[in-house]
Structure 1
């Protein structure tokens, strides 16, 4: 029996709310068998651009129509790493935690076990959680799929329902978005509590640049010590009424 469960697709160095979800659940499932979507958070995120706005950091991938996230491959890890590090260069000398955050990026790209974007994104989550002192108890769905043997899925929100039901979760917690895909009565029939995070903006000083909300966790960590970020997560991760 699992008290709380979360299910999320694997995003690349996602925003702070993703890590608040990780902290809120006992166990998580990385939904890597979903179809890869172009121009999504799978292979890109946003950081400051050093000019008063934001820019995408992007990992080039190879994918065809209908390819799963797990089967979508990174074209060149080394090239992607060097490009992203270059896009972070303007933080140098301005952001107090530039060097440590830069090393997080290097750690995520180091020694890839395979070339999938899912593997890279999972490492980005793991190294960030280690840096923040968060427990990362998330498992790729692709490694569990045969064991779980889910019934046929009728609509998108049913994936989380069937995973939660099969794993014996008492409560399922979702990020604030995506409410419309869930049918509350289905969860009530299974006796599983369906809840959503209630996230408040984490506002912090960004030195000479204007603050922009909901950028990649990399921007948060550039300006804030890990203990402060972890404390914010612990004290501000709430469930919506």
Structure 2
């Protein structure tokens, strides 16, 4: 069985869904520290030919809290974010098919940050027809005091993984030998370039999955997710 484990991100780029689809079980971390300047609650969209950051504002809290302990700000203006996305993509060829999904995700009333992000990941998975099971890290019976590679190995062992698939950025973080000793094959997924027309302007790569869905039919995205990468 192939297992992948990742942090939750808000409407992440297509490579996130390539990793999800490459696994039989995809574990989303909820009990890890929130990274203030990371991409957990923000991403990029295309606006006037340039990449622009959009985000989900959070309630003020200690930087030491876990993702599952953070909350969406009470004054999160969902209409403002939806208007930004609508303004950016209303002329996109697949706006009519994509915007209702985005609206459903953004209007979700969950207060907890993790639950808000989790429902978005599941909604996009279902929209794209990905069959991978998604589970939450804290629901898996391991010692959650473990860190880094040791925690990943424990999660893989508990799930009965034969292969662990990780994003290419993790090559320096994990030891193939350590996984091999546990009978687990360690693989890394590398996304290949995927370009498409963006209003006739120079292509801006690796934007949110929202951008991909606005400019491409689901069938094209499914092909990209299943074939436009390599396992190392």
Distance 1:77 1:239, change over 3 A: farther
Q: Counterparts in 2 of 1:39-188, with a 5 A limit?
A: 39-50=37-48, 52-62=49-59, 63-76=61-74, 79=77, 81-112=78-109, 114-144=110-140, 148-150=141-143, 153=146, 155-188=147-180
What residue is the counterpart of 2:30 in the other structure? 32
User: Which whole-Å CA distance do the structure 2 matches of 1:210 and 1:69 have between them?
Assistant: 36
Tell me the number of residue pairs that the alignment of Structure 1 and Structure 2 aligns.
231
Could you tell me how far 1:111 is from its partner in structure 2?
4.4
Segments of 5+ residues of structure 2 without an aligned counterpart are: none
CA RMSD of aligned residues (A): 1.8
Deviation at 1:236, TM superposition (A): 2.1
- The alignment status of 1:232 with 2:224, answered yes or no, reads yes
Normalised by the length of structure 2, the TM-score is: 0.92
Question: For the structure 1 residues 56 and 170, does the alpha-carbon distance in structure 2 shift closer, same or farther, using more than 3 Å as the test?
Answer: same
Which stretches in structure 1 are left out of the alignment for 5+ residues?
none
Q: Do the aligned residues in 2 keep the contact of 1:33 with 1:69 (CA within 8 Å)?
A: yes
* Per-residue deviation, 1:94: 2.4
1:200/1:174 CA distance change after superposition, 3 Å: same
Q: TM-score, normalised by structure 1?
A: 0.89
Q: Tell me, in whole angstroms, the C-alpha distance in 1 between the residues paired with 2:145 and 2:153.
A: 12
Judge conservation of contact 1:69–1:117 (CA < 8 Å) in 2: yes
The answer to which of 161-170 and 180-189 deviates more is: 180-189
User: Does structure 2 conserve the Cα–Cα contact (< 8 Å) formed by 1:59 and 1:74?
Assistant: yes
